[in-house]
Amino acid sequence: MKNKLSLYLDLIRWDRPAGWLLLLWPSLSALWVAAGGFPGWHLVLVFVLGTILMRSAGCCLNDVADRDFDKHVKRTAQRPVTAGKVSVREALWLGAVLALLAFGLVLTTNPVAVAWSFAALAVAIIYPYAKRFFAMPQAVLGVAFSFGIPMAFAAVRGEVPALAWGLLIGNLFWVLAYDTEYAMVDRDDDLRIGMKTSAITLGSWDVAAVTSFYVMQLLIWTVLLVERLAPWAWFLALVVATAQVVWHHRLIHDRTREGCFKAFRLNHWLGFTLFAGIVAGYALR
């Protein structure tokens, strides 16, 4: 049982929190914007726990969907499902239990949030298979990883206004940036097995595109948020975020596997920076 628990924890990437942090910061940012400040501990706990649970469930589904591809990729060949240490049935059952727990948390909010949670689940299920058909599957992931934003507005306001969709579009560019960095790590393996990724589609434009995606996210969120926050707090966060973008550009410039993976893993700090700017912006407005 101890060994099996260890394998399950490995399956849901328990020791790699960067994945759920990438989901968490935009969701918490949206909660603060929707509420015009602190949204209350209930919703904070729902979204923190729900994010961790759904990211873990997503890992289970993703590993099942990609098991025949992952064995040909250096970075993923030893994942529990791919290596045969956890069965497909076990992984799907674990994912289903985690998703149901997350749904139980959503049930404590309101009917609008509950309704939108089904759309969020549908996008999460579609993504693992998008890599087989779409030239830019990272765009599908961008929608999946940004769905905490409309969910947050639904939970706070009982509706999803245009502002929520604008923030989602901005966040989608951020996901395109960091997941393209991620795809750059595996580009040689993905080319060999016929997987479709943004890194392959963009080709020699990959570094310029990633930088542009970052800029678009910062620009869109600034346009949408600057008048709602204490301006100096947001612009301070923007300066720190821009410095991180410059650093990421340097990390991926030579397209080394190590540099691109490091850039991807550190993206959650950019998300935290913008969240901190929003929290401070409302507190000091």
Average pLDDT over the chain reads: 91
The pLDDT value recorded for residue 70 is 72
Rounded to whole angstroms, the Cα distance separating 130 from 197 reads: 10
Domain CATH code at residue 187? 1.10.357.140
The answer, yes or no, to whether residue 280 has pLDDT greater than 90, is: yes
The pLDDT value recorded for residue 1 is 64
Mean pLDDT, rounded, for 197-224: 95
The answer, yes or no, to whether residue 218 has pLDDT greater than 90, is: yes
Collapsing DSSP states into helix, strand and coil, what is residue 160? Answer: coil
The answer, yes or no, to whether residue 221 has pLDDT greater than 90, is: yes
pLDDT tens figures, 23-62: 999 999 999 999 999 999 999 999 999 999 999 998 998 8
Q: What residues make up the domain containing 262?
A: 2-283
The pLDDT value recorded for residue 67 is 82
Rg of the chain (C-alpha set): 19
pLDDT tens figures, 246-274: 999 999 999 999 999 999 999 999 999 99
254 vs 71, higher pLDDT: 254
121 neighbors 83 (Cβ within 8 angstroms): no
The pLDDT value recorded for residue 269 is 97
Q: Name the residue among 10, 129, 141 with its Cα closest to residue 81.
A: 10
Rounded to whole angstroms, the Cα distance separating 202 from 179 reads: 13
Residues of the chain with pLDDT > 70, as a percent, come to 99
Mean pLDDT, rounded, for 136-145: 85
Residue 256, token pair as written in the block: 């080394």
157 neighbors 201 (Cβ within 8 angstroms): no
Contacts of 149 (CB under 8 A, 6+ apart): 26, 27, 29, 30, 164, 167, 168, 171
Tally of structural domains, the chain? 1
Rounded to whole angstroms, the Cα distance separating 210 from 61 reads: 27
The pLDDT value recorded for residue 268 is 96
Among left, alpha and beta (phi > 0; psi -120 to 50; other), residue 37 is left
Collapsing DSSP states into helix, strand and coil, what is residue 83? Answer: coil
The answer, yes or no, to whether residue 2 has pLDDT greater than 70, is: no
